[in-house]
Amino acid sequence: MPVNAIEMAGVTFGYDRARPILRGIDMTVPRGKVVAIMGGSGCGKTTMLRLIGGQLRQQSGVVRVAGQSVCDLSRDELFALRRRIGMLFQFGALFTDMTVYENVAFPIREHTDLDDALIHDLVLMKLNAVGLRGAAQLEPNELSGGMARRVALARAIALDPMLVLYDEPFAGLDPISLGVVGQLIRKLNDALGITSVVVTHDVYESLKIVDYLYFVSEGRIIAQGTPEEVRHSSDPFVRQFVDGDPDGPVPFHYPARPYMDEPTVAAR
Amino acid sequence: MKRATIDLWVGIFVTMGFAAIVFLALKVGNLATLETRPSYHLDAAFDNIGGLKLRAPVKAAGVIVGRVESVRLDPKTYEAVVSLRMDNGYQFSKDTIASILTSGLLGEVYIGLEAGGDLAMIPDGGRIAKTQSAVVLEKLISQFLFDKATSGPPPAPGAPK
Amino acid sequence: MTSLASGVRRIGAGTLRAISRVGFATRFFLAVLRHTPSALRRLQLTAREIYFAGVLSLVVIMVSGLFVGMVLGLQGYDVLVKYGAGDSLGIFVGLSLVRELGPVVAGLLFASRAGSAVTAEIGLMKTTEQLSAMEMMAVDPLARIVAPRFWGGVISMPLLAALFSAMGVFGAYLVGVRLIGVDNGTFWGNMQAGIDFWPDVTNGIVKSIVFGMAVSLIAVFEGYDAHPTAEGVSAATTRTVVGGSLAILALDFVLTVFMFRGLGNG
């Protein structure tokens, strides 16, 4: 069994040649760890998750998950790999035409031939793990954002994956829900012996739960380290991110010509 | 939505749909009238079939006893040979007369059969010997005008001919 | 000069985009067909879609059929009686419903009622990343989501068209026989004498199956291809209704040319 759950080396990707999104990413995620990928909005974090899950294909470089190069897998092999990966989408992506119970049961029903009684036990177990056993019969639209996130988490771990990918698990949550989801990520990772990759821009919450952080900006990894190193880092980008300064290496202004050159200003 | 409820409604819907198709076939269309009954074939040659169409009815004394199945031109005699698909329940004598008729002035064209007195019946695949062609209106009118021209001025209305 | 060139360029770009879309749609159609066996193996999924496409369209289809039939009865009788052919009301109503109005009007209603719902549903599932989530769970959305919705529509459409025609004939009967006073026997008798199961009724059924396939394909394709935003989904829904309706009318012409040409004198 390879030591690293995920290895990325020299990965570049762009939807078209003119606008590369990732320009040479090198990253390793050791097994059993919780690793955060941090960066501003639109810096390519989510794209990295999609490359890991095989939904996109990099232009160059290698993406290995559990030792297998993702883009060299056949369709069947890719689907076999995905059964061992759980993914939590930004807003949960629960199936709106099913109850909470059916949502969690979905991957089990699709991929196993277990009978209904056993599925019932499994689903309640997973829901219990996220504290929502009582909400089994609710519809997704009756859930709050935090609850939906937790149901999606129960669904992501339904098939006991080796790797769980989290896409912005903290986005749009109130502080209490945020803490609950953060603690769940850590606890489930340790209790089930899985590996977790958390894509987020929430430094404060991440620093509490993760083992290692990568900072991504403009398609490159520009800083990395353990939470302790990050807190005491002197790297200007990391400092800006951790302290939440409006201006710094990440500029406040979108690139533009000097203000005095604007026609209306110059006319005065 | 419960699975059983969905199944029930889909069942009702599919049953209604097929009932509608059966209704269209039997009550609106004519599937019940001919297709299922056993049948035999007869041929009849006409000088002119006028506006006779495929599947036009074959009637005897006003009762539908068959349908026109095909129409072709005999290349030797230049007669139209009409193939009839007849109901097995009705047999016709050898001296039956087949004529092409029109129901009303503008109505549908059909073939009328007038049975004769012969005891021998026409067998399956046989031919009706005596036929009467379609009355072509244009010919009739020109003949009428011709007759008028040759017999002098028209008689006064109501006068005996 | 430059505006002319840019205009021509725009036409060229539009044409290329349309062609690539048709190509994409064709590949999509083949992919749906490829996933059909796995979808039909689990009939429950398709049954569910028949419920949404068929059962929920039942009321609007039957009520519309009834009214169209009643109007046909009134208008048809009004015209026919001028030529002394009031007795032919049955043929007139039956033929127009079975050959044309049943499949076409039911198809148009189906496109706006069920087709738009399917597009909106799939488009919304795409917007909320449900399709992506399914893919990541190693479940192909084409097999699990698209194929059942396609076949649910294809199965529902001919049944709805038949129900529409049947209700229409019934409506014409109500108006013609009960209200105006055409003889009951004449009405049904003339209708049966003038309408053949083969080819009139069967051609109507074939038409409705073709319309069902066209509308369902457009609906699932537009949903699957929708831009994953609120505007994208609403634009896709509009395209389903407009495109589906135009497809029905165009296909109706083509099918009619092939089906009823040369049936007159053999």
Q: Considering chain B, what is the average pLDDT of its residues?
A: 82
Q: What is the pLDDT of residue C175?
A: 93
Sequence-separated (6 or more) residues with CB below 8 Å from residue B93: B115, B116, B117, B118, B119, B120, B121, B122
Q: What is the pLDDT of residue B153?
A: 60
Q: What is the pLDDT of residue B144?
A: 84
Say which range, A75-89, C1-15, C161-175, has the weakest mean pLDDT.
C1-15
Q: Flag whether pLDDT at C266 surpasses 50.
A: no
> CB contact, 8 Å: A95 with chain C?
yes
Q: What is the pLDDT of residue C264?
A: 44
| Residues of chain C found within 8 Å of residue A95, distances taken between Cβ atoms | 125, 130, 133-134
Task: Write out pLDDT tens, residues C238-248.
Answer: 999 999 999 99
Say which range, A220-229, B3-12, B137-146, C53-62, has the weakest mean pLDDT.
B137-146
Q: What is the pLDDT of residue C63?
A: 96
Rounded Cα distance between A122 and A124, Å, is 6
**Within 13 Å and on the Cβ side, how many CA atoms surround A21?**
21
Both structure tokens of B60: 């005897």
Say which range, A58-72, B50-64, B87-101, has the weakest mean pLDDT.
B50-64
Rounded Cα distance between A39 and C133, Å, is 23
Task: Write out pLDDT tens, residues A131-188.
Answer: 888 888 999 999 888 889 889 989 998 888 999 999 888 888 888 888 888 898 999 8
CB contacts < 8 A (A, C): 48
**Within 13 Å and on the Cβ side, how many CA atoms surround B112?**
14
Q: Percent of chain A scored above 70 by pLDDT?
A: 96
Question: Distance from C115 to chain B by nearest Cα, in Å?
Answer: 18
The DSSP 8-state label assigned to residue A158 in this structure reads T
Rounded Cα distance between C150 and C221, Å, is 10
Buried b (16+ CB within 10 A) or exposed e, C62-83: bebbbebbbebbeebbeebeee
Q: Percent of chain C scored above 70 by pLDDT?
A: 97
Concatenated DSSP letters of C25-78:
HHHHHHHHHHTHHHHHHSHHHHHHHHHHHTGGGHHHHHHHHHHHHHHHHHHHHH
Give counts: helices (H), strands (E), chain C. Answer: 13, 0
Torsion angle defined by CA atoms of residues A49, A39, A222 and A25, in that order, rounded to the nearest 10 degrees: 10
E strand segments, chain B? 39-46, 57-60, 63-73, 80-87, 97-102, 109-114, 126-128, 130-132
CB contact under 8 A, C138 and A90: no
Name the strands in the sheet holding A68-69, side by side, starting at the edge strand that comes first in the sequence.
Answer: A19-30, A4-16, A60-65, A68-69
Q: Flag whether pLDDT at C216 surpasses 90.
A: yes
State the angle between helix axes of C230-260 and C202-225 in degrees (0 to 180), rounded to the nearest 10.
160
Q: What is the pLDDT of residue B65?
A: 86
Mean pLDDT value across residues C203-215 = 95
Mean pLDDT value across residues C207-229 = 94
Rounded Cα distance between A60 and B58, Å, is 79
Could you say which of C55, C167, C263 has the minimum Cβ distance to residue B9? C55
Query: Which H or E element spans position A7?
Result: strand A4-16
Chain B: touching chains (3 or more CB pairs < 8 Å): C
For residue A107, cis peptide bond before it (omega within 30 degrees of 0): no
Query: How many other CB atoms sit within 10 Å of the CB of residue A233?
Result: 18
Q: What is the pLDDT of residue C214?
A: 95
> CB contact, 8 Å: C133 with chain A?
yes
Rounded Cα distance between A157 and A153, Å, is 6
Kindly report whether the global pTM for this prediction surpasses the value 0.90: no
Q: What is the pLDDT of residue C265?
A: 38
**Residue A250 — very low, low, confident or very high, per pLDDT cuts 50/70/90?**
low
- CA proximity to A241, closest of A200, A193, A184, A196: A200
- CA proximity to C110, closest of C55, C30, C69: C55
SS3 content of chain C, % helix, strand, coil (to 5): 90, 0, 10
Torsion angle defined by CA atoms of residues C95, C100, C101 and C106, in that order, rounded to the nearest 10 degrees: 130
Q: Flag whether pLDDT at C36 surpasses 80.
A: yes
Both structure tokens of C165: 């025609």
The ipTM estimated for the assembled molecules is 0.86
Q: What is the pLDDT of residue C205?
A: 93
Rounded Cα distance between A126 and C169, Å, is 57
Q: What is the pLDDT of residue B161?
A: 47
Q: Flag whether pLDDT at C262 surpasses 70.
A: no
Say which range, B53-57, C109-113, C209-213, has the weakest mean pLDDT.
B53-57
Q: Considering chain A, what is the average pLDDT of its residues?
A: 86
Phi and psi, residue B127, nearest 5°: -125, 140
Q: Which of B8, B9, B24, B82 to mutate to test the interface with C (most CBs of C within 10 A)?
A: B24
| Residues of chain C found within 8 Å of residue A89, distances taken between Cβ atoms | 129, 132-133
- Residue of higher predicted confidence among A268 and A107: A107
Q: Flag whether pLDDT at C176 surpasses 80.
A: yes
Mean pLDDT value across residues C119-135 = 92
**Residue A265 — very low, low, confident or very high, per pLDDT cuts 50/70/90?**
low
- CA proximity to C166, closest of C115, C206, C204, C114: C204
CB contact under 8 A, A55 and C137: no
> CB contact, 8 Å: C117 with chain A?
no
Residue with tokens 């040759």: B150
Q: Which long-range contacts (CB under 8 A, 24 or more apart) does C174-178 make?
A: C174/C69, C174/C70, C174/C73, C175/C69, C175/C70, C175/C73, C175/C74, C175/C77, C176/C73, C176/C76, C176/C77, C176/C89, C176/C90, C176/C93
Question: Distance from A82 to chain C by nearest Cα, in Å?
Answer: 5
Torsion angle defined by CA atoms of residues A250, A253, A257 and A263, in that order, rounded to the nearest 10 degrees: 180
State the angle between helix axes of A145-156 and A100-111 in degrees (0 to 180), rounded to the nearest 10.
20
Q: Flag whether pLDDT at C117 surpasses 60.
A: yes
Q: Flag whether pLDDT at C169 surpasses 70.
A: yes
Q: What is the pLDDT of residue C227?
A: 92
**Residue C192 — very low, low, confident or very high, per pLDDT cuts 50/70/90?**
confident
Query: How many other CB atoms sit within 10 Å of the CB of residue A67?
Result: 11
Sequence-separated (6 or more) residues with CB below 8 Å from residue A23: A12, A218, A219, A220
**Residue B156 — very low, low, confident or very high, per pLDDT cuts 50/70/90?**
low
Q: Flag whether pLDDT at B103 surpasses 80.
A: no
Mean pLDDT value across residues A190-219 = 88
Both structure tokens of C132: 């992506």
| Residues of chain C found within 8 Å of residue A152, distances taken between Cβ atoms | 133
State the burial class of residue B127 (Cβ atoms within 10 Å of its Cβ: 0-12, 13-18, 19+): middle
Q: What is the pLDDT of residue A244?
A: 75
Residue with tokens 């069947």: A76
State the angle between helix axes of A116-129 and A100-111 in degrees (0 to 180), rounded to the nearest 10.
120
Both structure tokens of A124: 């309640």
- CA proximity to A127, closest of A146, A153, A159, A145: A153
Rounded Cα distance between B56 and C76, Å, is 24
